[in-house]
A and B are shown apart, each in its own frame.
Chain A
Amino acid sequence: MTSIADVLHGFPILSVVIFLPLVGALVVAFAPARWARLLGLATALLAWVASLVLAAGFQASAPGFQFVEQASWIPVFGIQYKLGVDGLSLALVVLTTTLTWISILASFRPIQARIKEYMVTFLILEVGMTGVFLALDTFLFYVFWEVVLVPMYLIIGIWGGSNRIYATIKFVLYTLVGSLLMLVAILATAFAYQAAHGGSWTGAFDFEVLRAYASTAGFGDTLQLLGFAALFLAFAIKVPMFPFHTWLPDAHVEAPTAGSVILAGVLLKLGGYGLIRFAIALYPDAAVTYAPLIIVLSLIAIIYGALVALVQPDLKKLVAYSSVSHMGFVTLGAFVFQAQALSGAILQMINHGLITGALFLLVGVIYERTHDRSIARMGGLAALTPTYAAIFGFFIFASAGLPGLSGFVGEFLTLVGTFAVNPWAAAVAAFVMILGAAYLLWMFQRIAFGEPSAFLLGIRDHLSDISAVEVLTLAPLGAMVVAFGFFPGLLLDLIRQPVADTLASVANAHAIAIDPAIVAIGIGIVVAVVVIRFLSLRPAAASTSVVPAEGAG
């Protein structure tokens, strides 16, 4: 009997997964506009099927990358078109393809203007996202990384809310600052490799070669420190880590529902993926050196994100800040360099994609009917739209890390792993179990419980319960949330090898000594900037936040 892997042997399945949406985008672009929706969905579904075929042919137990495709691209610099998949990227690719078709389906009703352009943009976005996860050449990785940027920029900017331009430009500029520095780091790394190999560019952009080099000979200390800092900044902005997170709430609030879903579901994962795959593997010594700082930032993000989420008046902002908090687990788990923690971090990425994606879909459902997202104006949805409220509640608890659902496993593994390395960090992070429950349940209580609000009663005629199509978009996510809650082994087996690979690259790493003076200067600059900002505040800029009528406890 021939297995799927045999059938796929020699077939460029990865390229198909990546570029199928591009072909679809071209078809959509030249087809009549009224077909755009269905063609877009069909393409996304095809890509999804392709990714599932890939998953079926994947052998989790085999080490290294599979289905590797390799072709010379820019031979002068040894830049290759090199793709490959391992468990980590496979999981994220399938997440991407799934969320893409769900998002497209969820856009059918909300997006009425320029539907053709929308579909084209969305499909190109998918090209970039899958490309990032599958690229094994650092240059190619960067190219795909940037390809993601533009469609998202357009999606927020064209189909977004009232303040969309501010949000989208902020998103792009913020991301671009990081990613361009990453480009410098990638080039510097390639050159360092080239210089160490007698001026031969062969392999200088090949991730596998670089990783092997990094874990044996290793790059120089200065390059590691600076290169890691650059990569870290790029990825931390994407994740987003405190204090680089402020683009996220703005982008989420303004983005259309599907944009938010992809943003939270996939784009943030790009950062986590980059950290785990590239930053740690290429600069292990620097990773170890910076780890304490990153752990502290992660902890701040976890707690701070939850605290800020607590008082957000806007549903999407709340979910956005919850993302900051949740993604803190990813960075925390990645940088304690412990198997369970890293596995947990990866799981957390997937779960966050599913759960937060679903939450944004749900916010979209209500926004579609009320054209409002303010928590204060909702109330009593459970009475008016019971099915909707029930589904919302399900994902609220999934987000709060209720055991039995997928979110729990990731968080707990992260915490267990962290505890083994640093109990205090785990203790601080675990505190979010309370805060998370607090902001989520408080929000849910305010929107779903009690008597229906006057606002909702006023538009009762439009306030239909969740529709079949909307349920269809949420059902796969819910199913996966349950499935991964009960059988996280499905993912854990998949990522076992990548986790081991990543940890192997830091196994022999040593911390680089940093001149305390530099550290002091760095801290001084940060403090100075904060102080200057503080002093430059006008007293008029007083807080406009909602004071909670009642809160936790």
Chain B
Amino acid sequence: MTWSDVVTMAPFAAGVALAMAVLVVDIVRPGARNPVLAVALGGLAVITVLTVVTGQAAATAFGGAYVVDGLTTFLDLVFIGIVAFTIVFAPDYLEPRGLPLAEFTIVLLFAMTGAMLISAAGDLLVLFIALELMVLPGYLLAGYHKSDGYSTEGAIKYFLLGSFSSAIFLFGLAFVWGLTGTTSISGIAQTLTGIASGSAALSPGLALGLAFMTTGVAFKIAAVPFHYWTPDAYQGSPTPVTGYLSVGPKVGAFALILRLFVGALYPLRSDWVQVVIVLALLTMSLGNLVALTQTNVKRMLAYSSIAHTGYMLVGLAAYGAGRQEGLEGLLYYGAAYSAMNLGAFAVIAALQRRAGVTSNLETFAGLGRREPWLGVLMTLFLLSLTGIPPTAGFFAKAYVILAAVQASQAGNAALGVLAVVAVLNAAAAAFYYLRVVVYMYMREPQGEQSPLTHGRLMWGGLAAATALTILFGIAPGTLLDIVIQAARAIGSPGAA
């Protein structure tokens, strides 16, 4: 470990340090809220700066196990944003329920370091451990409301299935190591290029390894038919955690996919792209169809997040079929989805500031009257999730669809079908998103309730999420440049 290694991995290290720092703060001033928030948010700001600074130039450390490139920087920023939003939105939910903010923040920061490490991993072993570092805190967070049966039930389901999938993933990983003789991503890619070019055959063992790894990853992104954990874990988790779970581990898992499938397994894309197409089809359709029948908004958003995974997979499929735009769309989608979905969950969390408020649809009845601003913001986020311009969700969806259409015109007709199914799904999705709007504006509230009061923190967070949701929709240019840079870091399909 050299000094330059440390400098290169500074954001990650800072993340770990920040978690420790919060721990220390909590030990010094137990139960205090503001110091924790100040340290956490300040620290995140520092990490942001570090990320941007270190991201100026591509670099590697630890003999290639840690890679910094455009993708790393982009994903790190997304993760930091997700965590910052989650921390901002959490107190309004946690405090009325007597849950400490400090442990929450610490665990969350650990999860963030895991996700950041995934985006920087240049080695499969690092990748695996980073993945575990990301998901283990997730299990803990899901069960964070430990006195609540739903929270712990969600947690144990999430944990058991997550561990199961980790084992599967690891088993596959082992076989890939064994057959390629290396744990380095670039090394594996080299070996596989040889196989793809025909100089060596793709052995059954390697195929088995790939299958197991695909399964494990598909589980992490909640692709159908490996999605079962999502609704239960999301519904059960404390709302800010649900918000985090729906975007953090998802983007993290996609980062894993990018590093693994795009980085290491790209030579075999003609094999896995078909799997991705099938997964995308199933994921979109099932997510949306089941979401149609939900009466609990959190559970509904859980299914919707499955559907959004499907849309992101469309981008991946397009990339696999040879379109760089697929990758860009996927990344853009990730960022846009994070902003809008966190916003939506933030509104739910804000409503649940009053303990005892469920996330059932009835909670939203007459919200537009009771809480006009929350109603407007929720509407905006839901419209964005639906994909109505001029919001982030629209442009993101348009982006992946564009990629799919391009791929289909380049000869892969299945991608065309995928694009059409995607838009039909989007139309169906409008039904359940708009149903919430129906409740908010077109139903009378059940009984009068005094208006809620929220701190500046919550409003500031919501304002930021709103701004991003609109900004990514109206002026995608800035983010677009970053995304294209990030996608280029992995390499364009033409070059590979």
Residues of A whose CB lies within 8 Å of any CB of B are 73-77, 114, 117, 139, 142-143, 146-147, 149-150, 153-154, 157-158, 164-165, 168-169, 172-173, 176-177, 180-181, 183-184, 187-188, 190-192, 195, 223
- Which residue from A142, A147, A158 sits with its C-beta under 8 Å from B441? A158
- Extra contacts, 11 of them, besides A146-B394, A154-B441 (Cβ < 8 A), are A75-B477, A146-B388, A153-B437, A157-B437, A168-B442, A169-B435, A173-B431, A176-B386, A180-B424, A191-B402, A223-B409
Q: Are A191 and B406 in contact (CB under 8 A)?
A: yes
Instruction: State A233–B484 Cα separation when bound (angstroms).
Output: 33
**CA–CA, A411 and B441, complex, Å:** 41
Residues on B with C-beta less than 8 A from A139 are 398
Given contacts A172-B430, A187-B405, contact A180 B481 (CB under 8 A): no
B390 touches A74 (CB 8 A): no
- CB <8 Å contact, B480 and A143: no
Give Cα A25 to B409, complex, Å: 42
A177's contact among B389, B405, B424, B435, by CB below 8 Å, is which?
Answer: B424
Q: Please report the C-alpha to C-alpha distance between residue A77 and residue B399 in the assembled complex, in whole angstroms.
A: 10
* A74 contacts across to B, CB distance below 8 A: 476-477, 480
Contact across chains for A169 and B388 when beta carbons are under 8 A apart: no
Name the interface residues of B426-457: CB closer than 8 Å to any CB of A.
Answer: 426-428, 430-431, 434-435, 437-438, 441-442
Minimal beta-carbon separation of A222 from chain B (angstroms): 9
> Contacts A153-B434, A173-B430 given: A188-B442 contact, CB under 8 Å?
no
The verdict on B124 contacting chain A, using a C-beta distance below 8 Å, is no
Interface of B is mostly: helix
A147 to B383, CA, bound (A): 10
Closest to B375 in A: A117
Please judge, given known A-B contacts A74-B476, A143-B390, A176-B430, whether A184 and B405 are in contact too, CB under 8 Å: yes
Residues in B with CB closer than 8 Å to A190 are: 402
In the complex, A141 Cα to B150 Cα: how many Å? 46
Bound together, the chains give a CA A114 to CA B194 distance in angstroms of 68
The complex places the Cα of A75 from the Cα of B390 at a distance, in Å, of 17
Measured in the bound complex, the distance between the Cα atoms of B85 and A276 in whole Å is 47
Contacts of B419 in A (CB 8 A): 184
> Given contacts A143-B389, A183-B423, is CB(A150)–CB(B441) below 8 Å?
no
A173 and B405 form a contact (CB under 8 A): no
Q: Which residues of B contact A183 (CB under 8 A)?
A: 398, 401, 423
B383–A164 contact, CB under 8 A?
no
Chain B 406-432 near chain A by CB (<8 Å), digits 1 or 0? 101100000000011001101110110
Residue of A nearest to B441 (CB): A158
Inter-chain contacts of B442 with A (CB < 8 A): 157-158, 164-165, 168
Contact A169 B438 (CB under 8 A): yes
Contact B438 A157 (CB under 8 A): yes
Range class of the B interface residue count: 35 or more
Chain B residues whose CB sits within 8 angstroms of the CB of A153 once the complex forms: 434, 437
Please name the 10 residue pairs, one residue from A and one from B, whose CB atoms are nearest each other, closest first: A180-B423, A143-B389, A177-B427, A176-B427, A187-B402, A188-B405, A146-B389, A157-B442, A191-B406, A158-B441
Q: Which residues of A contact B387 (CB under 8 A)?
A: 180
Report B-chain residues with C-beta under 8 Å of the C-beta of A76: 477, 480-481, 484
- When distances are taken between beta carbons in the complex, the residues of chain B under 8 Å from A195 are 406, 409
Residues of B with C-beta under 8 A to A73:
475, 477
Q: Is the CB of A188 within 8 A of B388?
A: no
Please pick, from B368, B369, B420, B434, the residue contacting A172 in the complex, using a CB distance under 8 A.
Answer: B434
Known: A76-B484, A158-B441, A165-B442. A184 touches B389 (CB 8 A): no
Given A173-B428, A188-B405, A195-B409, A150-B383 contact (CB < 8 Å): yes
Task: Indicate whether A187 sits within 8 Å of B409 (C-beta atoms), given known contacts A76-B481, A181-B423.
Answer: no
Name B456-470 residues within 8 Å CB distance of A: none
Out of A149, A158, A173, name the residue touching B388 (CB < 8 Å).
A149
B335 CB → nearest A CB, Å: 15
Q: A76-B481, A76-B484, A158-B442 are in contact. Are A147 and B402 (CB under 8 A)?
A: no
Closest to A222 in B: B409
**Nearest chain B CB to A82 CB, angstrom units:** 16
Is the beta-carbon distance between A192 and B477 smaller than 8 angstroms? Answer: no
Q: Name the contact of B398 in the complex, choosing from A158, A176, A187 (C-beta under 8 A).
A: A187
Chain B hits for A192, CB < 8 A? 409
| Contact status B401-A187, CB under 8 Å | yes
B409 contacts A191, CB within 8 Å? yes
Q: CB-CB contacts of B472-496 with A at 8 A, as 1s and 0s?
A: 0001110011001000000000000
A184 and B390 form a contact (CB under 8 A) = no
Docked pose: A188 CA to B437 CA in angstroms:
32
Interface residues of B in 82-101 (CB under 8 A from A): none
Selected A-B contacts with CB under 8 Å, 13 pairs: A73-B475, A76-B480, A139-B398, A157-B441, A165-B438, A173-B431, A177-B423, A177-B424, A180-B423, A188-B405, A188-B409, A191-B405, A191-B409
Residues 251-304 (chain B) with a chain A CB within 8 angstroms: none
Q: Which residues of A contact B441 (CB under 8 A)?
A: 154, 157-158
Residue of A nearest to B443 (CB): A165
Tell me, in angstroms, the Cα distance from A139 to B431 when the chains sit together.
24
Task: Give the residues in chain A near B408, CB-CB below 8 Å.
Answer: 188
- Taken together as a complex, chains A and B put the C-alpha atoms of A169 and B441 apart, in Å, by 13
Within the complex, what minimum Cβ distance (angstroms) separates A230 from chain B?
9
Give, as a whole number of angstroms, the nearest-CB distance from A187 to chain B: 4
Q: What's the nearest-Cβ distance from chain B to residue A112, in Å? A: 14
Residues of B within 8 A of A177 (CB): 423-424, 427
CB–CB A169/B434 < 8 A: yes
Expressed in whole angstroms, the Cα–Cα distance for A121 and B477 within the complex equals: 28
Tell me how far the C-beta of A215 lies from the nearest C-beta in chain B, rounded to whole angstroms: 21
Q: Give Cα A117 to B420, complex, Å.
A: 35
How far apart sit A248 and B475, CA to CA, in the bound complex (Å)? 34
Question: Which of chain B's residues 165-179 have a Cβ closer than 8 Å to chain A?
Answer: none
The docked-state distance in angstroms from the alpha carbon of A181 to that of B398 is 11
Bound form: Cα–Cα A64–B390 in Å: 28
| Cα-based distance from A91 to B131 in the complex (angstroms) | 60
B430 engages A181 (CB within 8 Å): no
- Name the CB-closest residue of A to B425: A180
- Chain B residue nearest in CB terms to A192: B409
Residues of B within 8 A of A165 (CB): 438, 442
Residues of B within 8 A of A187 (CB): 398, 401-402, 405
CA distance in complex: A183, B394 (Å): 10
Q: Is the CB of B401 within 8 A of A184?
A: yes
Closest B residue to A156 using CB positions: B442
Q: How far is the CB of B185 from chain A (nearest CB, A)?
A: 28
Contact A180 B426, beta carbon cutoff 8 Å: yes
